[in-house]
Amino acid sequence: MQLSAQQIREFEQSGYLFFPNAFNAAEAAVLKQAALDVYQQQREEVWREKSGVARTAFAAHTYNDAFRRLGAHPRLIDPVMQLLDGPVYMHQYKVNAKAAFDGDVWQWHQDYGTWARDDLMPEPRAMNIAVFLDDVTAANGPLIFLPGSHKHGVVEAGHDLETTSYPLWTLDRETVTRLYQEGGCVAPTGEAGSMLMFSSLLVHASPPNISPMDRTIVYLSLCHVDNHIRQFKRPEWVAHRDFTPIAPLEDDTLNELVA
């Protein structure tokens, strides 16, 4: 999948792109079942909310075949390589649960802020691309973006170790308000199989999910191979140390798993 000139301009302006129904229902169902299988595992890579339900599963592409295939899917890898102008490696892989009733907040943050501070990634030549495994609605904790906030570079942040089970470098209310006043606030929603691509500098968050609907999203954080991390204080399954360029698989790779 190649981006058009108009899509590239839109990404540069807003910091994100949304692709409704990038994956069909059968492909999304394969990935949703894979997520359920992963969340049942008692592994250190599976982080849980304070209630005990799964919050996120790190590095799922290393122990689940469907997520391995997704991690090299051309619909994800090709457009990222196009925007980053070269080969990419997998910096991080997360399957975020946001479970019905118990899915907790993800505070306002920039992903590159964490990667720069904790992993010594030299430049923001990295981005996220995400696939909805459930329908994402206004009610079940959608991602919230501040369009254009990526143009501000790395924003000052504090290290929040208490709000949730996962430590995060977060932005204060004054900063978020200022960025909102400049560019507004959006929450892309869509059916399972829809896809988002967003800059590693884009400020984003998601509210708690108190609805009876799950909201599972899988995230690939991809980095140009020349821009690999220089510090290895976090576990390898959180910040990967294999900088081998990803070779995209065939477009129908997930269909091979459809029952």
Residue 37 vs residue 47, higher pLDDT: 37
241 Cα distance to chain centroid: 18
In a domain, 221, yes or no: yes
Q: For residue range 168-220, list pLDDT tens digits in order.
A: 788 999 999 999 999 999 999 999 999 999 999 999 999 999 999 999 999 99
pTM of structure? 0.92
Question: Counting beta carbons within 10 angstroms of the beta carbon of residue 104, is it exposed (0 to 12), middle (13 to 18) or buried (19 or more)?
Answer: buried
In a domain, 242, yes or no: no
In a domain, 96, yes or no: yes
In a domain, 60, yes or no: yes
Token pair listed for 248: 């995209």
Q: What does the alpha-carbon distance between residue 61 and residue 59 come to, in Å, rounded to a whole number?
A: 5
In a domain, 8, yes or no: no
Identify whether the C-beta of residue 31 lies closer than 8 Å to the C-beta of residue 68.
no
In a domain, 61, yes or no: yes
DSSP secondary structure letters along 50-68: TTSSEEEEETGGGT-HHHH
| pLDDT > 70: percent of the chain | 96
3-state secondary structure of 126: strand
In a domain, 235, yes or no: no
Token pair listed for 243: 């900088």
40-69 burial string, b = 16+ CB within 10 Å, else e?
eeeeebbbbbeeebbbbbbbbbbebebbbb
What is the tally of structural domains in the chain?
Answer: 1
Local confidence band at 102 (pLDDT 50, 70, 90 cut-offs): confident
Q: Which of 104, 71, 87, 109 lies closest to 199, judged by CA? A: 109
Q: What does the alpha-carbon distance between residue 132 and residue 122 come to, in Å, rounded to a whole number?
A: 29
Residue 191: CATH number of its domain: 2.60.120.620
For residue 163, what pLDDT is reported? 58
Between strands 126-132 and 158-160, the pairing is: unpaired
Identify whether the C-beta of residue 66 lies closer than 8 Å to the C-beta of residue 57.
no
In a domain, 194, yes or no: yes
Q: For residue range 80-94, list pLDDT tens digits in order.
A: 999 999 999 999 999
Whether 24 shows a pLDDT value over 70: the answer reads yes
Q: What does the alpha-carbon distance between residue 36 and residue 100 come to, in Å, rounded to a whole number?
A: 13
Whether 159 shows a pLDDT value over 90: the answer reads no
Task: State which residues form the domain around 144.
Answer: 18-226
